[in-house]
């Protein structure tokens, strides 16, 4: 399947935004990161807006998308509902921060915001799962996107807290847990993708009237071609390097260390997220071509 860069950017940026907004909500529940709350919220809003803009470039006739919003079972409709809910909570968050004297928000708002961010990521990832594309038809994809949020959000929040002078002790455990979740989900999904070619049956002869001069795609060859990007880009760079960096920064890095190593971990995780999404689309072969 051809690469859909608008959707790659959309899923990456929305996961990043939800991860950051969810992390700052978690910090509010843990009683930390007060100085970083407003800058983190602004960053999360910008990321969500950028993702929303990117997705429209996927549509040749974007105005027709409104026809799909009338069906609640549509993945696009569910994504829109989840995004609208998160945006409303972001607005409420801004109002509470502006009225607060110490940079805090009510615990109920923080709890609801954290839950909404998790739901948004799950709904967004679920809209891509489909039986017609075996490499996409796995709950591991949903867990992987959640893992992206768990590493991109906390590392970004840690950098903002370090810049703003907040106490980083409260961030140590969430960042480490997020890095572990990202690494485990990335490795699990990479293994699934590596063996996805087994989902197809070999066909000796096939004629596609829409592509009469093109040979059939061989699933095993497509998977093999993506192996370096999958394991080096998505797993080593995107999962293992952030885990090592976060573990080291948590043990030895103060505010200065987190400014540098938190940014390195976030950048590596971002590169890995994009690499795996590229593989995700390259391996998104339709079962129609093989049966």
Report domain 5-283's class: mainly alpha
Residue 287: pLDDT band (50, 70, 90) is low
Distance CA 291, CA 278 (A): 25
Work out the average pLDDT over 64-87.
76
* Residue 106 main-chain phi, psi, to 5 deg: -60, 145
Distance set, CA 82 to CA 45, 123, 125, 205, 243 (Å): 14, 7, 12, 45, 29
Confidence of residue 286 (pLDDT cuts 50, 70, 90): low
Give the CA distances from residue 184 to residues 143, 153, 230, 238, in Å, rounded to whole numbers and listed in that order: 9, 17, 14, 11
- For the ranges 183-192, 209-218, 241-250, 274-283, the lowest mean pLDDT is seen at 209-218
CA angle 44, 45, 48 (to 5 degrees): 85
Residue carrying structure tokens 């709350």 = 37
Q: What is the pLDDT of residues 174-220, one digit of tens each?
A: 999 999 999 999 999 999 988 876 665 554 445 556 666 666 556 66
Q: Where are the domains of the chain?
A: 5-283
Which position has the higher pLDDT, 140 or 283?
A: 140
Q: For residues 182 and 78, which has the higher predicted lDDT (pLDDT)?
A: 182
Q: What is the 3-state secondary structure (H, E, C) of the chain?
A: CCCCHHHHHHHHHHHHHHHHHHHHHHHHHHCCCCCCHHHHHHHHHHHHHHHHHHHHCCCCCHHHHHHHHHCCCCHHHHHHHHHHHHHHHHHHHHHHHHHCCCCCCCHHHHHHHHHHHHHHHHHHHHCCCCCCCCCCCCHHHHHHHHHHHHHHHHHHHHHHHHHHCCCHHHHHHHHHHHHHHHHHHHHHHHHHHHCHHHHCCCCCCCCCCCCCCCCCCCHHHHHHHHHHHHHHHHHHHHHHHHHHHHHHHHHHCCHHHHHHHHHHHHHHHHHHHHHHHHHHHHCCCCHHHCC
pTM of the model: 0.88
Q: What does the alpha-carbon distance between residue 85 and residue 87 come to, in Å, rounded to a whole number?
A: 5
User: In whole angstroms, what is the distance from residue 184 CA to residue 240 CA?
Assistant: 9
């Amino acid at each position: 399947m051809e690469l859909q860069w608008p959707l790659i950017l959309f899923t990456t940026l929305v996961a990043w935004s939800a991860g950051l907004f969810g992390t700052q909500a978690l910090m509010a529940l843990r009683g930390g990161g007060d100085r970083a709350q407003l800058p983190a919220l602004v960053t999360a809003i910008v990321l969500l807006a950028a993702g929303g803009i990117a997705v429209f470039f996927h549509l040749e006739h974007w105005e027709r998308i409104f026809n799909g919003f009338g069906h609640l079972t549509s993945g696009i409709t569910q994504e829109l509902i989840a995004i609208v809910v998160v945006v409303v909570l972001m607005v409420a968050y801004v109002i509470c921060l502006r009225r607060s004297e110490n940079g805090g928000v009510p615990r109920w708002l923080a709890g609801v915001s954290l839950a909404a961010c998790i739901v948004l990521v799950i709904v967004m990832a679920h809209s891509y799962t489909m039986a017609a594309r075996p490499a996409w038809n796995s709950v591991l994809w949903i867990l992987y996107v959640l893992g992206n949020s768990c590493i991109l959000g906390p590392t970004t929040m840690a950098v903002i807290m370090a810049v703003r002078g907040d106490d980083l002790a409260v961030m140590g455990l969430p960042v480490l847990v997020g890095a572990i979740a990202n690494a485990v989900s990335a490795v699990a999904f990479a293994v699934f993708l590596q063996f996805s070619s087994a989902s197809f049956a070999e066909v000796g002869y096939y004629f596609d009237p829409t592509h009469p001069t093109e040979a059939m795609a061989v699933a095993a060859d497509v998977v093999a071609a993506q192996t370096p990007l999958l394991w080096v880009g998505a797993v080593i760079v995107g999962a293992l390097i952030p885990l090592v960096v976060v573990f080291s920064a948590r043990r030895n890095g103060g505010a200065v260390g987190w400014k540098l190593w938190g940014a390195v971990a976030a950048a590596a995780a971002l590169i890995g997220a994009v690499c795996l999404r590229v593989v995700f689309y390259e391996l998104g072969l339709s079962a129609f071509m093989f049966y």
